[in-house]
Structure 1
């Protein structure tokens, strides 16, 4: 029998492994938020596992891009937007367009995230205090305000390691919650296999979901912020192998967690012919199978996904602007405080107008795909420039991955335009 001492040392080892996870935790924080959870659940409830192939391709290309941007930072010591501005003829315009595009997408996303997180907390409270239903709008707005003020105050603590630890806690709770949910409901194996064959659902909203899927899984913010987080971790050219492992681990975990969420929704809702249109529908994913206990597990997963995304979404604009200016992020600066305060106010727009957070969330993910081809093309041009890269040669495999990612992003952007025109 294992002794208490052995158990403790095993627990310490697991804890050290989780806390030892590098900047890849930010990739998961950016990628699997309520945007991802919403897209996966809506897709799982509408189409079962039919869009699994989109998720798989997005995660493979994400891994390549996280690796490429991280490597570039370690080899040259430069960050992404600063490099675009410095090395390209139209680099300034390009960098500003990227900042505006990504900030617009992420702040929109923040509205949806805050709306969904507040709705989830409201539903948990309403289960126990039925009288709150009469004051739904007011309660949700108060909850949203408390959440965003709390996160703003936490932002002012402003240390990379602090953000990393908070994110690790949320991402771990989220992952465990969805895995627990998966044991209650699973899709059919044949549907999982069929889901790996590329098809786009020929129904209203099918194109929109494909674009939202890619917008949330291949998030430009993840790749552009990678050099800053790698530098924030204190990594140098000696950590190239560590950076590679971190990028691979992040993309694998993004796929596993996202696919689990889709599978849970497919198993619980798709076979019953139930679709998700409101936040409470997401909570009902497991109620028929496992009662209120499963709903609570699922709620905590979705809430952790939301909260793990608020930090990265608030950080994105100051990160990109700092990157453009000098390649360094100063979390104690006046600029940082003002920009994050504006982001907090924008986040409250959705809850204040009582907008349907699920619609807001999916629309914001679609907007993310339009910046993606520029971000992929940017790293290809930088890596193939001998003057910048000096003696370092990028492998053929990485180039194949990057060009495939560029083609994929162009196809999805075109698909996103069609989706918005239909909408």
Structure 2
């Protein structure tokens, strides 16, 4: 078991990327998409993961070669870099804190539903128990934040992400979708139904999360990687992109296989229980819920970290997890996270909407690294080749199109 753990720890920054990318927002989007549209959006997921892998690698390679972090480099080397960096901080923080509310709301509901599955009498105390669970979870997370050690955060994320991946792949073998329908999902199409555009934007918002790329140089700094680790950094980026695709596609396929042909749609967390239990059984359903819970908890850490890390990145270009500023901002994030559990909003609708907001800073983040990585004075012989540049240009065009699609989707919701 020890050699496996050592191999997993070698991919530490990859697990932060997965933690940012696959949370309850991602799982919710995949379940809603799979149950409502089948596998027809698999092509969006594939492109998002492909471009994400390129961006994770590009940001990581830039950090290793120059020793600079993302926003610090934007401020230092780009025209209007300070303004761009500030806009990114505001946009990413808004998106991630919105996600955080949904993550805690859904995770608390999942823990409650798992308990109520075996003890139905608890349903009469749902609001009180869900709120108590939410306060307990965020309190524990904040206590771990106060320790302020990167290596501890990494170990906890490895545990959560591993549990999540095993649970969802296991569920896929229980609820087996038709292979032909999975393959058909790679043919590009946007569902011409109400909410179709919103779902596409949510897909990209959760899979191509700007926070994933911006935080990459900071976590590489925390890992202590330098020029000798360039090959390892490349493998790490590839592993992150592949795992995000496999785990996310597994969730979509489970929802497709179990719910789509039955015409069952997901609007509340409880719907997942009612829809999946007759097909998967109580044990398999518990495993799936455990995976969703692990996805949520693996995202709470990065979402709490993001605002203080980006501010420290902008100001000094250093990973900061121990200052008073870090503790105060993460404390505020914890209070924000409790909004959905306190007021009892539907966490699924809020979670999908928050993923849409994540796409709006994506074009800036993509264009920024495209410019920086091609500055010969900074990168010298390590500037991107034709393949990486092509992927980065395509990622930028894709981000612009999806952002425009997100604007249209939001106007349609008004």
TM tier, smaller: over 0.9
Equivalent residue pairs, number: 413
Contact 1:120 1:299 in 2 (8 A): yes
Shift in Å, 1:391: 4.2
Alignment of 1:294-373 (within 5 A): 294-373=284-363
Shift in Å, 1:17: 2.1
Mean alpha-carbon deviation: is it higher for 408-417 or for 18-27? 18-27
Query: Could you tell me how far apart the structure 1 residues matched to 2:180 and 2:118 are?
Result: 40
The runs of 5 or more residues in structure 1 that have no matched partner are: 1-10
Shift in Å, 1:128: 3.0
Aligned residue number for residue 405 of structure 2: 415
Aligned residue number for residue 57 of structure 2: 67
The runs of 5 or more residues in structure 2 that have no matched partner are: none
SS in 2 for 1:371: helix
SS in 2 for 1:269: helix
> Is residue 143 of structure 2 the alignment partner of residue 145 of structure 1?
no
**1:103 alignment partner, one of 73, 93, 112:** 93
Q: Detail structure 1 runs of 4+ shifted over 4 Å in the superposition.
A: none
TM-score (norm 2): 0.98
Aligned residue number for residue 216 of structure 2: 226
Aligned residue number for residue 30 of structure 2: 40
Query: Could you tell me how far apart the structure 2 residues matched to 1:202 and 1:103 are?
Result: 32
Shift in Å, 1:285: 4.7
Query: Could you tell me how far apart the structure 2 residues matched to 1:68 and 1:340 are?
Result: 28
1:319-364 CA distance string (max 9 Å, x none): 1001001111221110000000000000001111101000110000
Query: Could you tell me how far apart the structure 1 residues matched to 2:383 and 2:375 are?
Result: 10
Contact 1:269 1:285 in 2 (8 A): yes
**2:111 alignment partner, one of 109, 121, 125:** 121
> Is residue 6 of structure 2 the alignment partner of residue 16 of structure 1?
yes
Alignment of 1:211-222 (within 5 A): 211-222=201-212
Contact 1:284 1:295 in 2 (8 A): no
> Is residue 146 of structure 2 the alignment partner of residue 165 of structure 1?
no
Alignment of 1:381-392 (within 5 A): 381-392=371-382
Shift in Å, 1:32: 0.6
Aligned residue number for residue 249 of structure 2: 259
- Aligned residues: CA RMSD: 1.0
Contact 1:85 1:95 in 2 (8 A): yes
Shift in Å, 1:88: 1.7
SS in 2 for 1:332: coil
Query: Could you tell me how far apart the structure 2 residues matched to 1:217 and 1:63 are?
Result: 10
Query: Could you tell me how far apart the structure 1 residues matched to 2:351 and 2:359 are?
Result: 14
Shift in Å, 1:237: 1.2
TM-score (norm 1): 0.96
Shift in Å, 1:126: 1.7
1:243-266 CA distance string (max 9 Å, x none): 001000110000000000000000
Contact 1:265 1:285 in 2 (8 A): no
